[in-house]
Amino acid sequence: MALSVGDQFPSGVKFTYIPYSPDLEGVTACGIPIAYDTEKEFPSKKVVIVSVPGAFTPTCTANHIPPFVEKIKDLKSKGADEIIVLSANDPFVQAAWGKALGGYKQLIFASDGNAAFSKAIGKSVDLSSKGFGIRTARYAIIVDHGKVTYIEQEPGPGVSVSGVDAILAHL
């Protein structure tokens, strides 16, 4: 199923994440993953999903996600209730990455296990030639009370249409 601006966000989508807890602040502290049920959460919120091919990878760690951490107040002031950083990495890796980037308290670092959601909407990438398997592509979605108002995938290497400035311009 393709997903386009104006579409209702698909029902039944659940991501997995480890919620913030003060006793889990250390990068090696492990919590228990829980489901983020978009069907329950999205109807009452404006949510930004930022998808990356992998946690702790060069572009994702150096260029893509740090600006979201730095500009969280700007995103919230423009109406974003939640920002979800999504990748096919497991929720333990996602949580550790969020802690390492200093964004674990403010953003939800969630797992799209096996890139299932990304594959379903045509936004996965096959990085098997590099030994990484199927991953989430680099893309962003804004969901406003259940309706998709922005969805763009990067056309090539780098960060533009899925970066924080593009998101701020569309909130």
C-beta separation of 115 from 88 below 8 A: yes
Told to judge if 60 belongs to the known catalytic residues of this protein, a careful annotator would answer: yes
Contact 92, 128 (CB under 8 A): no
From the CB of residue 107, how many other CB atoms can be counted at a distance below 10 Å? 23
Considering only CA atoms, which of 37, 6, 36 is closest in space to residue 20?
36
Which residues fall within 8 angstroms of residue 126, CB to CB, at 6 or more apart?
Answer: 133, 134, 135
Contact indicator for 148, 47 with CB cutoff of 8 Å:
no
Integer Cα distance of 79 and 14 in angstroms: 23
**Active-site annotation holder among 18, 55, 60, 108:** 60
* Cα 92 from chain centre: 15
Return the active site residues.
60
